[in-house]
Structure 1
């Protein structure tokens, strides 16, 4: 979805500015990155900058991982709640005024009568089954995101180790 939104934004700005093709941009990128590779990322200063950038990336990765773990736990609880609602609704055969779901146990929490019958019960059941499916999708998405962040943190730790040992190797060469 975000990719579609980004592509739409790029297309919108391209149409507003009447830009059809930017051939010089790829050459500029190539020159810029080759300059960075030859000049900026060489020597001790480049390694120290890489080390500090890696530390910042790892800290942000850990914070993102904690945030995603919170989302994972929240969606797990919501999946369970909506699973229970979906099972309650699957036992109801008709949505007449005689068939009701009685949630009066939770009435002191909300100060409202919680007895669903007829059309309200039908809407509750339809929304419960829809929400249950979307919470499962969110649960799987959180799991995939957490696995991706764990992989990113492993790669960042390996990169940090490589940069740190590279600095030690430079120090040993000087001795």
Structure 2
């Protein structure tokens, strides 16, 4: 996300909701300025998270050391992100970011907090195919990572199959 530059002629940059991005069709020097505000459900972040807000067929965890509508915690890792995947295709994404109080819980739908205009500097979204990563799959590797980083999971949903398939994720970081 770009910093708020009140003197910018671009209204999204001026109000602190503009962002640039690279995607799978970009080369390393082809950053694109989005025409959508990061606050919009039509932003790349909004579209990425959309499936989680409209379908119960996905497994996900939302973690943030500054969760929405909860106090800041010093006993968990300084980390923020989303891990989400779909059982049938075993594809998913890991979104790592710096935005406090983000994303909202599923019941609230997509939104971007006002604090993100100042403190939301980065987002990195990595897609994966869990069945293609050898010798361990991506979800198992991330589960191990989470054991070390101790994220504050503030909302999660794992399907029965995901709970059985990824016991380290289900039992290791998700509060009971």
Q: Which has the higher helix share?
A: 1
Q: TM-score, normalised by structure 1?
A: 0.21
Larger Rg: 1
Name whichever structure is richer in strand by fraction: 2
Name the TM-score, length of structure 2 as normaliser: 0.21
